[in-house]
Amino acid sequence: MNFDLEKFKVHGEPLIYGAMISIALVSIGIVVGLTVFKKWGWLWREWLTTVDHKRIGVMYILAALLMLFRGGIDAMMMRLQTAAPDMKFLDAQHYNEVFTTHGLIMILFMAMPFIIGLMNVVVPLQIGARDVAFPRLNAVSFWLFFFGAMLLNISFVIGGSPDAGWSAYFPLASLEFSPTVGNNYYSLALQISGIGTLMTGVNFIVTILKMRAPGMTLMRMPMFTWSVLITNVIIVFAFPVLTVALALMMFDRLFGSQFFTMANGGMDMLWANLFWVWGHPEVYIVILPAFGIYSEIIATFSKKNLYGYTSMVASMLIISLLSFLVWAHHFYTMGQGVMVNSFFSISTMAIAVPTGVKIFNWLFTLRKGRISFTTPMLYSLAFIPIFTIGGVTGVMLAMASADYQYHNTMFLVAHFHYVLIPGAVFAVIAGFHYWFPKVFGFRLNERIGKHAFWWIIISFNVAFFPLFILGLKGMTRRMYTYSAETGFGPLNMISFAGALGLAIGFVILVYNIYWSTRYMPRDENGDPWDARTLEWATHSPIPEYNFAVVPKVKSRDAFWAMKHDKQPLFEEPITKIHMPSNTGKPFVLGVVFFFLGFFLVFSMWIPAIVAGVGVLIALAAMSFERDHGFYIPADKVIKTEKKLGGGTV
């Protein structure tokens, strides 16, 4: 085997040694806990082998919350290192690794799985379906994402993290400039998890187009479902580009090919183009579902139907098209011609127009509404002005000539945080609060939730607004230290204080989950918010089969029409219900993919070949399996409905 054992070691950092010890202790604690409380069988039956879209959604969200804190620790370390001049907390190499993994984890392993988790929980309910179109493929998607995330996360204790930035530009990501295995982890972990995301895209397109309840036409779908449909179309077109780019990167690093080299016919700019052809649509993959979440929440807590439904759908379609026409604005400064820069400048400014349409739609929905200032509504209201700041600064960056000044400064860092945090993080927190009672049967505490909200909103602005000023003063991105003479110290210290406040806010959010689980009263009617859409028409917590009777939809906001216009939703008698069977094969496939990736990272060819054969065997076992699911008898459904409150019997 052609590998060096020294590559496994990560040297010299007390923080990393502490992380190794903490990972070992937590792992031992989990194993001991499951053994003492005899929960191994329960874990296997109820979670590791599940194909229930709701449970898969919960697992996505749990993984995203873990990654939120993992990425948050990286952010705190960066802010601490730059809080004062000449800090020695991190050295240059460790700082490179930290900002690289922070970007990867927050975008690909926090924001995306959180959104896909909400998508899994909510979309089948909103369209009146009993599950997604391909339940087992859904399980495969999750386990590939999960084990891809785990592969990336072990890099900082085994071998070393990627260190060429989250965009991994060549030649920085090449073996010449990054000889450690960190960027091997990058290429393989992202390939594995990206395949899972691509499967999700196919699955949800088919689910939404083919499994809607009778009467639910496309123009009667809830706005969140519309946003998910458009997002998954973007996924299907964008993610294959990333997969190909990562495969070429893997060939360059592991097999000596020359796709992205500076010599022998390679093109380093080929990587930049491939990455951003995926990377900019990726921004809208996380933003568009967030727009759908805000649309649902604002309509519910304004007690009004969403203003301009058709224009909202049209604006999302236009955004999805334009998202593929703006990628080169990420490298205005790399020597393109005037015509190219002009085209991408115009297309980048144009994408602000349909986004502005949506802002006005939400404002007109609020106008004359009977607004309830719940925790999810507060996040939705705070989003509008903060995201607008991000959008306006984005238009500034869209001007190619001005971007020469802004591009490599902290101004750009401030801009994309003002877009992505209100545009994705606030949205998933709002959606988490909003749909939490639907999944678990009780609400999160409003008082604690509002405490967390104010900590997060105020601290966010304290943390990131100073970066606009620092950027205009000349502080560059990725600068791990600076001298006192620069004058950057005071604003960086303010930013660090804001980061501490953000950490406190997220800790309060997690405490709210714990407190509410123990003390909040359980809901009885399944509709704690007086909501409008179909997911609230079933019980809380949701039964395995979602709806005892498939609803018949006659209008938009079908559940609101049932409550206030007396339009019946459930008109058929209860009959037996067909459901998919659980299976452990997706979990096993994920494990084998993990080992395949790990062995390839370290060029351990014989174990990698064995793991590759294992992947083929697992895929064959799933392909040739004939399992037609099972039926829940009608009398059992009736008994469950009566126990839960009997909305359809």
Structure tokens at 261: 């080299």
Q: How far apart are CA 471 and CA 478, in angstroms?
A: 12
- Measured in whole angstroms, how far is the alpha carbon of residue 340 from the centre of its chain? 32
Which band of pLDDT confidence, cut at 50, 70 and 90, is reported for residue 647?
A: very low
Q: Output the CA–CA distances (angstroms, integers) from residue 440 to 448, 521, 536, in the order listed.
A: 18, 11, 13
Q: Can you give the pLDDT at residue 61?
A: 95
- End-to-end Cα distance, the chain: 65
For residue 146, the tally of other CB atoms under 10 A from its CB is 22
Q: How far apart are CA 527 and CA 441, in angstroms?
A: 10
- Run of H or E including 79: helix 53-81
Residues 65-106: tens digit of each pLDDT: 999 998 999 999 999 999 999 998 888 888 999 999 999 999
Phi then psi dihedrals of residue 156, to 5 deg: -80, -5
Q: How much is the average pLDDT of 209-216?
A: 94
Residue 18 predicted with pLDDT over 80: no
Q: How far apart are CA 376 and CA 374, in angstroms?
A: 6
Residue 570 predicted with pLDDT over 50: yes
Cβ atoms 530, 372 nearer than 8 A:
no
Query: Scanning the structure block, which residue is given the tokens 């060819």?
Result: 605
**What percent of the chain is modeled with pLDDT above 70?**
97
- Run of H or E including 181: none
**Comparing C-alpha atoms, which of 470, 427, 392 is closest to residue 288?**
427
Structure tokens at 594: 């993990």
Q: How much is the average pLDDT of 616-638?
A: 90
Residue type, 574: I
Structure tokens at 23: 């990972």
Residue 11 predicted with pLDDT over 80: no
Which band of pLDDT confidence, cut at 50, 70 and 90, is reported for residue 337?
A: confident
Residues 243-285: tens digit of each pLDDT: 999 999 999 999 989 999 888 888 889 999 999 999 999 999 9
Q: How far apart are CA 197 and CA 116, in angstroms?
A: 9
Query: Scanning the structure block, which residue is given the tokens 């927190």?
Result: 429
Based on DSSP, count helices (H) and strands (E) in the chain, helices before strands: 22, 2
Q: Can you give the pLDDT at residue 524?
A: 66
Within 13 A of 587's CA, how many CA atoms are on the CB side?
Answer: 14
Residues in the chain, how many? Answer: 649
Q: Can you give the pLDDT at residue 4?
A: 61
Sort residue 296 into left (φ over 0), alpha (ψ -120 to 50) or beta: alpha
Residues 347-381: tens digit of each pLDDT: 999 999 999 999 999 999 999 989 999 999 999 99
Cβ atoms 396, 349 nearer than 8 A:
no
Q: How far apart are CA 212 and CA 214, in angstroms?
A: 7
Bridge partners (DSSP) of residue 577 are 632
Q: How much is the average pLDDT of 56-68?
A: 94
Q: Can you give the pLDDT at residue 12?
A: 58
Residue type, 571: E
Residues 444-492: tens digit of each pLDDT: 999 999 999 999 999 999 999 999 999 999 999 989 999 999 999 999 9
Helix, strand, or coil here: 632? strand
Cβ atoms 262, 341 nearer than 8 A:
no
Residue 648 predicted with pLDDT over 50: no
Residue 41 predicted with pLDDT over 80: yes
Question: Where do the domains of the chain lie, and which CATH numbers do they carry?
Answer: 1-262 (1.20.210.10)
pTM equals: 0.95
Mean pLDDT, the chain, integer: 91
